[in-house]
Structure formats: structure tokens, C-alpha cells
A and B are shown apart, each in its own frame.
Chain A
Amino acid sequence: MLHIVNKSPYERNSLESCLRMASKGSAVLLIEDGVYGATKGGSFEGKIQAAMADVKVYVLGPDLSARGMADRVLDGVSVVDYGGFVDLVAEHSNCQSWL
């Protein structure tokens, strides 16, 4: 399962809900304001790092760059472009947007 989260964890609890529900081995893609969830230095850092033991975290590069966050990505998070977004959708048997 691919989980797609598009809001900052500092604005809504959708990423937190997603991480709570995501089963081991699934993937989480952070897009739009969701990219803040994959950055260093915030209070959410510990939670996302703990979650990375069970789920693979991806972040959309163009949305990181648009927010000036490209050099603040947490270690272990993979940066993908829109083509990579499409590949993730294709590779997983289903996807869920946490709106």
C-alpha cells in the first residue's frame, strides 16, 4: 500500500494518523505541505524516524525545492520526482490519499 500525505504534520494530524495505521512494509509519500514531515529540526522528527523502522518514506523533490527545504531532508528518506511518484503508484497494488 502507498500512503500519500499532502499536509504538514504541524498543520494537521493526517501524517500522524497515517503512520499509526500504515502496516509494516508499506510506503508513505509526502507531497505538497506534507514534505515538512520529512525535514530536520522540527518536533515531528522523532516520530517520522521511529516510523521509518516499519515503513519506507518518500518525499516529492519539486515540492521540497518550492519550499526551500531541499537541503533539510532527514537521512533515510528518498527524494523522488513526479516520474518517481508515478512509479510508486504503479509499484504498489493500491494507494490511499490522507485528505
Chain B
Amino acid sequence: MKIGVLVNEGPYTHEASDSAYNFTKAALEKGHEIYRVFFYHDGVNNSTRLTEPPRDDRNIVNRWSELSKQYSLDLVVCIAAAQRRGIMDENEAKRQGKDANNLAEGFRISGLGQLVEAGIQSDRLVTFGD
């Protein structure tokens, strides 16, 4: 089955980012296809590679990157939500005249149309948030 996942809450806030990750991982392990994970609102903070939690804590950002690598998972970050929160890839940083970029490996920045498409193409869309 094709499943889309929407993450609306930032990491280390309540539990939505953890729930979304554990759900996505379990679905992939069961052989389902995750059509896309879309990060919206504060959820875009899941994608900054500058995250550095204490060593005994889980690294939510790296965990997504690793899962993406293992399963060729499509991790999409909403561009408008990302720009508001200082999340950008190399191209976007250049375009905005910034001196740095911080998008983690495995993520890509795109528009809200990607969420709509995930909703249309997936058999189910599961939302995680606050």
C-alpha cells in the first residue's frame, strides 16, 4: 500500500516527529511504500543538519537521513515554512544571498504542491503534529 506522511511539529517538542519516524519505519519494514514524507510548519525543523543533541539522546534529523538512504525515501520540506525558519539548501542560500546552508542529507526543498500530490497519489495520508 502507498502511504503518505505529513509532519507538522518540530523535533524535540512533544512526540510527533518520533511517532512519524517510528510509523514510517514500521510501514517500510512491513513492505508498504512510503510515497513521501512532507514536513510542514515547525516540522521543517526536522531537516537542519546543524542539529546536535546530547550524545545520549536520539538524533532525529540523522535518523530521517539514514532511513532515506536505506529506503530511498522522499523527504520533502515546505519551502515557505523553511524560509521562515532559516532552513535552506545550497541553491536557496545562494538565491537569498545567505552565507550558509543547512539542509540535511536526504531532504529536498519544494512547494506545497508536493503535499497535495502525495495526498492524491497515496492510498492513505497520515498526519502527525501538535
Contact = CB atoms under 8 A, between A and B. Distances in A.
Q: Do A and B come from one complex?
A: yes
Interface of A: 4, 6, 31-33, 62-63, 81-83, 85-87, 89-90, 94-95, 97, 99
Given A6-B16, A86-B32, A90-B1, A62 B124 contact: no
A6 B26 contact: no
A94 B127 CA distance: 12
A97 B126 CA distance: 7
Interface residues of B, number: 22
B117 interface: no
Contact of A86 (B8, B26, B127): B26
Given A32-B15, A62-B22, A89-B3, A83 B124 contact: no
A86 B14 CA distance: 21
A4 B126 CA distance: 9
A86 B130 contact: no
A4 B130 CA distance: 12
Nearest to A89: B124
A2 to B, nearest CB: 9
B83 interface: no
30 contacts: A4-B126, A6-B15, A6-B16, A32-B14, A32-B15, A32-B16, A63-B19, A82-B22, A82-B23, A82-B25, A82-B26, A83-B26, A83-B30, A86-B3, A86-B23, A86-B26, A86-B27, A86-B30, A86-B32, A87-B30, A89-B3, A89-B124, A89-B126, A90-B1, A90-B32, A90-B124, A95-B124, A95-B126, A97-B127, A99-B129
A64 to B, nearest CB: 13
A99 B8 CA distance: 10
A85 B23 contact: yes
Contact of A97 (B25, B26, B27, B129): B129
A7 to B, nearest CB: 9
A3 to B, nearest CB: 12
A82 to B, nearest CB: 4
